[in-house]
Amino acid sequence: MFKREKIKVTLQYELLLLPALIGFVIFFLYPSIQSIFYSFTNYSVNKLDYSFVGLRNYVNVFKDEHVIASIKNTVYFAVCSTLLQNVLAIPLAVALNAKLKTKFLLRMVYFMPWCFSGLIIGFLWSFILSSSDDGLLNHLIHQLGIGFLPNNWLGDPSLAMKSVIFVAVWQTTGWAMIIYLANLQSIPAELYESVKIDGAGKFQAFWHITFKFLAPAMTINVLLSTIGGFKVYDQILALTNGGPGYATESITFSIMNYGFSENKYAYASALSVVMLVVILLISLVQLRFFSKREDNIA
């Protein structure tokens, strides 16, 4: 009788998960399997009688200079944005974990940009970084008389990707800060008191306690920011639309162009599978590295 009641309770919990499972299968699992299948064909919207072509799409992906450029741009964006986001978020979280009267207001201010869509943030900064005299940043530079600074932030190939990275970091640093802040509040205060008694300074306390015990939050932040960096699309669409030339075009941007603009669904599917495999491998390496760091916490 007890076993029957236990099974009944278990089934009730499983039924609660059923809507999420159905949504996962319909909107993620089935499209993913379908994309993998199409990547081995010559399917397109104009060729409904598609046929199997083997690995031809994958071979063409690595021969396409356009795709190679987008891969390089994506790796550059993911590495720089992940590094800058975490380097800025840690000291920001430490500062806002102190006893400040305005700490709750400041937390809200720094976190707020992440609450908005990447498109909204992108369009806002496209106005600020506009190369025209009406651009807010250029107008400010002109008023300050700093004439030697470059002003074609989104039109210069050497500056466009750096500008996109700046906007992305500006938007996401507050989100990473909140995760670090939650981790900071779980560190026992007795540890700081003990090292203070031993004569350790603030930097030593930060390095041997704070930085060490932030390992779980660092794992989450680095992993999610790297995945987000490889999937970047909306900021690029709003700021540069992939230009100038291919200077800011990402893998996701190329997938959207090939799939929806040029109707090369099979080719776009192959490129998306390549991106999936790359993200999976990088995520596994990161998890293995950071899990070892977490295990070393004493």
Q: pLDDT tens for residues 233-260?
A: 999 999 999 989 889 999 999 999 999 8
- All residues at 6 or more sequence positions from 165 whose CB lies less than 8 Å from its CB, including other chains: 77, 80, 81, 84
CA distance 35 to 271: 10
Reported as a single tens digit per residue, the pLDDT across 91-131 is 999 999 988 889 999 999 999 999 999 999 999 999 999 87
Which of 53, 127, 91 lies closest to 210 in space, CA to CA? 91
For tokens 């041997």, the residue is: 208
Provide the percentage of residues in the chain whose pLDDT is more than 90. 56
H/E stretch holding 212 reads helix 211-213
Residue 78: closest CA among 283, 226, 236: 226
Residue 133 has pLDDT above 70, yes or no: no
Cα torsion for 200, 203, 204, 209, to the nearest 10°?
110
pLDDT at 149: 62
Query: What pLDDT is attached to residue 217?
Result: 93
Report percent pLDDT > 70 for the chain. 93
Q: Give the long-range contacts of residues 222-227, CB within 8 A, separation 24 or more.
A: 222/82, 222/86, 222/286, 222/290, 223/283, 223/286, 223/287, 223/290, 225/81, 225/82, 225/85, 225/86, 225/172, 225/176, 226/78, 226/82, 226/282, 226/283, 226/286, 227/279, 227/283
pLDDT score, position 243? 87
Mean pLDDT of the residues in the chain: 88
Task: Write down the pLDDT at residue 206.
Answer: 84
- pLDDT at site 275: 93
Written as six digits, the tokens of 151 are 């002003």
Cα separation of 22 and 110, whole Å? Answer: 36
In the chain the domains, ranked by start, together with CATH numbers, are: 68-120+157-295 (1.10.3720.10)
pLDDT of residue 93: 94
Q: What is the pLDDT of residue 72?
A: 94
Q: What is the model's pLDDT at position 297?
A: 66
Residue 6's pLDDT is 63
pLDDT level of residue 3 (50, 70, 90 thresholds): low
Distances (CA, A) of 224 to 55, 85, 174, 191, 269: 30, 11, 14, 29, 23
Given a cut of 80, whether residue 268 has pLDDT beyond it is yes
Question: What pLDDT sits at residue 227?
Answer: 94
Q: Does the pLDDT at position 70 exceed 90?
A: yes
Per-residue tokens: 7: 């099974």
Residue 149, H or E segment: none
pLDDT digits (tens, 9 = 90+) for 22-44: 999 998 899 999 999 999 999 88
